[in-house]
Amino acid sequence: MHSRSKAIQALKGTRCFSTSTPRPALSPYRKATQAAGTKVVKEDVKRTQSTAAATATATQTQTQAPPAQDRRPRPAPAFNREDYVVQPLRRKQPEMDHSFVGMTGGEIVHEMMLRQGVKHVFGYPGGAILPVFDAIYNSPHFDFILPRHEQGAGHMAEGYARASGKPGVVIVTSGPGATNVVTPMQDALMDGTPMVVFCGQVVTSAIGSDAFQEADTIGITRPCSKWNVMVKDIAELPRRINEAFEIATSGRPGPVLIDLPKDVTGGTLRRPIPMTSSLPTHPSAATVAAKELSRRHLEATIKRSADLINIAKKPIIYAGQGMVSVPEGPKLLRELADKAQIPVTTTLQGLGAYDELDDKSLHMLGMHGSAYANMAMQEADLIIALGARFDDRVTLSVSKFAPAARAAAAEGRGGIIHFEIMPKNINKVVQATEAVEGDVVTNLASILPHVKEVKERPEWFSQIKDWKARFPWNFEREGENGLIKPQTVIEKLSKLTENSKDETVITTGVGQHQMWAAQHFRWRHPRTMITSGGLGTMGYGLPAAIGAKVARPNALVVDIDGDSSFSMTLTELSTAAEFNIGIKVIILNNEEQGMVTQWQSLFYEDRFSHTHQRNADFVKLGDAMGVQAQRAVKPEELEDKLKWLLSTEGPALLEVVTDQKVPVLPMVPAGNGLHEFLVYDEATQKKKRAQTRERSGR
């Protein structure tokens, strides 16, 4: 302890902590600084004493005089508010839908179809889709049509959609059930037909294991559908079904497919789902924003298009299916044609958009269109394309297409105005002078106020009248063998239904009979011509007629078919008989694949390679399937037989034995321009018949 005291004492001495230890001498600089500091300290003391005296005086004065003005401004009112607790931000919980809890996946499919307004369903059951079929067992809410083949179900749904404007609904099983609807889906995709397909699938745990009736349905149908999806969670079913119906019917309509694993449709939903999942789909914010961004551009395009219409000397309207699919389309089309005095031609799928009895009608154009429509397209200085896509059957040789319109476009006085809902179709085949993108009917309504009224176009219509006189719909009326000419059948049918065109729906297969129906039946109303255009599917006519009749039970529905096309789906006669669907079927029987033999005759020197077949007895076939049937052979009995067909209750069939080797004319051979067509000439036809007989040895 003693030694520690000594150490501390020594340390204090070193650091001058002890008052007894003398301090070291200061340098002259430090002396001056210390003296100055001492003076400052004395002055601070004096200032402090003075401030204290002043404060005391002020305190005494406050009790005797009003307060002085504050030196600093008062705080803003916001700073005087009482403190409050800030709650953390919380995401609002979505409103939940409990209505599906306890339902199986199949029952949810049934419920969602009802919410979408489905009244009719076409389909064929199978193992993987049984939970859905069990859910719709004895459902009183819609009618189920059971075909004889899944392809028939698909075409029935197409016919239903085309006749009603509502999406056709199909339910099939996995594997072959799904692959059998690929043809109808591709057909619907090409022709813009709304269709919703529900197909079964093996359980999710077996996917990829080559299980029984497993197929990669999503991969197979991706190229032939507008949209497809596999649902792997039962909670997703309402949302996916809403999306399917929205996509199938919006924009350019088309087919969609929902792949349903069996464990999803057979499972039970145990928890509520967000309310937004079960409500009808609304346009996304991105879609609305995109439309708003393009509005000004669209308005400018419409104004420029109207200016072209107003200065055109020889305009023509070329209308496609886009003018048929919307109820207001034909009305607006007529308004434009009447206001600006513009002739109208239509595509195969656009038949009925414009009344063909109107003087401004040029009927159908294209490979087998009217010669005067083709001539007008080539000579027009302005082509107004409404809901049409310039497919190859219309343009033929693109390099030779619309030379007058192209020349006018180069000079700024015409060209091609393309109203189109699908951007990919614009400038795909021909270059448009003005592209009016979006809903065709909406944009047509927008352009009409800008179009000037025209009283008449005497020179243009005089030229058209001359073409109509030179190139009428003409054909050989009577043959050497006394058989019925197929064109005559169509003409008589058109005459017999002239007072009920609005309630007469015609479906066709694919082949010569399809073109004769388009040429010689007079079309006056939309949704009355139902045929396979883009894909050209043989066998389409009969099931499509069944679908159309289901959609419009009070209409007269007639399937005009060829023997080869009809034979591909003839088993669906049984469907018509079973459900008493009162369709009428006309089979133009020439015992050959007529369109193919026509090409073989023109381009392959009458080498008819595998294009003739022996048909069944169609009358006996009809009787066997429970359908009333008759046959017409002689021209003089044709009209009475047609009257019998149209007046018979329930499904009925009329076989008409027709002449062979009858060409569809006019015809534009492949590689030619629209103006380079073949027309009927009696001398040429007789010479050709003789040549064919010589080559075939008959």
What is the helix (H) or strand (E) element at residue 577, kind and residue range?
A: helix 572-578
| Annotation marks residue 595 as catalytic | yes
DSSP assignment letter at 148: S
Q: What is the DSSP string of 364-387?
A: E-STTS-HHHHHHHHH-SEEEEES
How far is residue 677's CA from residue 397's CA, in Å, rounded to a whole number?
A: 12
> Hey, what are 369's tokens?
């269109």
| Annotation marks residue 213 as catalytic | yes
Q: Is 650 exposed, middle or buried (0-12, 13-18, 19+ CB in 10 A)?
A: middle
Instruction: Assess contact for 542 and 158: CB atoms under 8 A.
Output: no
| Annotation marks residue 578 as catalytic | no
How far is residue 147's CA from residue 89's CA, in Å, rounded to a whole number?
A: 58
> Hey, what are 536's tokens?
């050209």
Among the listed residues 213, 341, 431, 628, the single catalytic one is 213
Q: Between 371-379 and 403-410, two packed helices, what is the crossing angle to 10 degrees?
A: 20
Among the listed residues 595, 598, 625, 667, the single catalytic one is 595
Among the listed residues 262, 314, 360, 468, the single catalytic one is 262
Instruction: Assess contact for 662 and 476: CB atoms under 8 A.
Output: yes
Q: What is the DSSP string of 124-148?
A: ---GGGHHHHHHTTT-SSSEEE--S
Pairing of strands 120-123, 143-145: parallel
Q: What is the DSSP string of 50-73?
A: HHHHHHHHHHHHHTTSPPPPPSSP
Instruction: Assess contact for 496 and 642: CB atoms under 8 A.
Output: yes
DSSP assignment letter at 484: B
Q: How many CB atoms lie within 10 A of CB 332?
A: 20
Among the listed residues 43, 46, 212, 603, the single catalytic one is 212
SS3 labels along 503-569: HEEEEECCCHHHHHHHHHCCCCCCCCEECCCCCCCCCCHHHHHHHHHHHCCCCEEEEEEEHHHHHCC
Instruction: Assess contact for 267 and 105: CB atoms under 8 A.
Output: yes
| Annotation marks residue 122 as catalytic | no
Closest CA to 204 of 247, 180, 238, 236: 236
Considering only the C-alpha atoms of the chain, give the largest distance between any 2 of them, rounded to a whole number of Å: 155
Q: How many CB atoms lie within 10 A of CB 320?
A: 26
Instruction: Assess contact for 142 and 120: CB atoms under 8 A.
Output: yes
Q: Where are the beta strands (DSSP E) in 594-647?
A: 628-632
Residue positions annotated with a catalytic role: 150, 212-213, 262, 595
